[in-house]
């Protein structure tokens, strides 16, 4: 009966042996991220993490995916960077609350489970986790034929971090005339790829990804797979000088900067104050995209925005050499007008 059941499941499109092989391959990567607080090994029904060293700990959680950047990874058969994207995106999200990452979990669903592909994805996740001292303590791999095409997959991450209650960043102390600093992105990060695919005709065939652009100094595919930058290590030491952080992800400038503002305030962005990487100009030209929409979809070269008092600008820019003054906090003249880009 058991052999008949296994054969039937395989005929239905689910390979249990492949799943078992994948689990063995990824265990070594996950274990390489373990902090001393990790209580359990990979493979149990739940991962355990012992919280130590905090007086009033507040847990901060977030979840996200890589989106259709995965399509680019699949077309180029390169899967070792999307895991980095996933972790760094989630780390940046909880960093905006002042949180330090503790542990991470992943979910990978595929039309056809390929152990080596799973290992490549998880190697990127583990690499990013190790770089910021975050433990990969568990996850799930799912083979889902007919939900996904055989070469398609989805990738989702879940992160838990911690911050002392007195150190929470929530933007409540932001006031009129505060300064906005911007830290550069490493490219598109993980947003706007559906528009990019349409603009370059990538869904009609992968050949546009092989085109070399002198202004990029690389092929389009290489540019589009640049990993999402993590800001945790450089920002953690200066968090006490910061009033608010905005991770510029889905929704771009327009959708993210206003999220941390107190009532009655808005943001004025001086768009000529920083370097906009050439990939964004290429997208705008190729897709015939209006400038306003570009700022509503993409990060436009700024991955993290910092709001601080004018008195802290000199110290912050000394500690963060790449930071540029990109705007200031102004009074909201209209109830719905939260951001002005000029």
- What are the structural domains, with CATH classification, of the chain? 2-7+15-167 (3.30.1330.10), 179-341 (3.90.650.10)
pLDDT single digits (tens) 106-144? 999 999 999 999 999 999 999 999 999 999 999 999 999
Residue 10 has pLDDT above 60, yes or no: yes
Q: List the single range of 118-132, 138-152, 184-198, 223-237 with lowest mean pLDDT.
A: 138-152
Residue 136, Cβ density class (10 Å: 0-12 exposed, 13-18 middle, ≥19 buried)? buried
Q: What element of type H or E holds 154?
A: strand 153-164
Q: What is the pLDDT of residue 335?
A: 67
pTM of the model: 0.93
Residue 17 has pLDDT above 50, yes or no: yes
Residue 15 has pLDDT above 90, yes or no: no
- Whether the CB-CB separation of 246 and 103 falls below 8 Å is answered with no
For strands 135-143 and 100-110, give the pairing: parallel
**Residues 296, 269: Cα–Cα separation, whole Å:** 13
Q: What is the pLDDT of residue 1?
A: 40
DSSP per position, 210-259: G-EETTTTEEHHHHHTPPPPP-HHHHGGGGGG-SEEEE--TTHHHHHGGG
Q: What is the pLDDT of residue 22?
A: 80
pLDDT tier, 249 (very low <50, low <70, confident <90, very high otherwise): very high
**Residues 76, 141: Cα–Cα separation, whole Å:** 22
Q: What is the pLDDT of residue 157?
A: 98
Q: How large is the average pLDDT for residues 13-40?
A: 86
């Amino acid at each position: 009966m058991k052999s008949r059941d296994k054969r039937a499941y395989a005929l239905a499109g689910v390979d249990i042996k492949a799943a078992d092989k994948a689990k063995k391959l990824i265990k070594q990567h996950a274990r390489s991220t373990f902090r001393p607080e990790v209580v359990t090994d990979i493979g149990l029904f739940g991962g355990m993490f012992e919280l130590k060293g905090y007086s009033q700990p507040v847990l901060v959680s977030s979840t996200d995916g890589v989106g259709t950047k995965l399509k680019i990874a699949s077309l180029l058969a390169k899967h070792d960077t999307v895991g980095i994207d996933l972790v760094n995106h989630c780390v940046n999200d909880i960093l905006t609350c002042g949180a330090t990452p503790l542990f991470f979990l992943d979910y990978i669903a595929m039309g056809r489970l390929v152990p080596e592909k799973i290992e490549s994805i998880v190697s990127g996740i583990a690499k990013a986790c190790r770089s910021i001292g975050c433990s990969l303590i568990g996850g799930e791999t799912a083979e889902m034929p007919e939900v996904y095409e055989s070469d398609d997959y989805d990738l989702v991450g879940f992160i838990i971090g911690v911050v002392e209650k007195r150190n929470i960043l929530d933007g409540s102390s932001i006031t009129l005339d505060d300064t906005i600093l911007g830290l550069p992105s490493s490219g598109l990060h993980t947003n706007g790829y559906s528009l990019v695919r349409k603009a370059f005709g990538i869904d009609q065939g992968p050949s546009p990804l092989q085109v070399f652009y002198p202004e990029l100094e690389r092929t389009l595919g290489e540019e589009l797979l640049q990993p999402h930058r993590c800001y945790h290590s450089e920002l953690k030491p200066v968090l006490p000088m910061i009033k608010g952080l905005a991770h510029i992800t889905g929704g771009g400038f327009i959708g993210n900067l206003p999220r941390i503002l107190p009532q009655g305030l808005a943001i004025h962005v001086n768009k000529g104050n920083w370097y906009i990487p050439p990939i964004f100009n290429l997208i705008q030209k190729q897709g015939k995209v209006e400038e306003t929409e570009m700022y509503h979809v993409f990060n436009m070269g700024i991955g993290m925005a910092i709001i601080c008092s004018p008195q802290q600008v000199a110290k912050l820019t000394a500690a963060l050499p790449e930071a540029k003054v990109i705007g200031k906090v102004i009074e909201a003249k209209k109830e719905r007008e939260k951001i002005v880009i000029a």
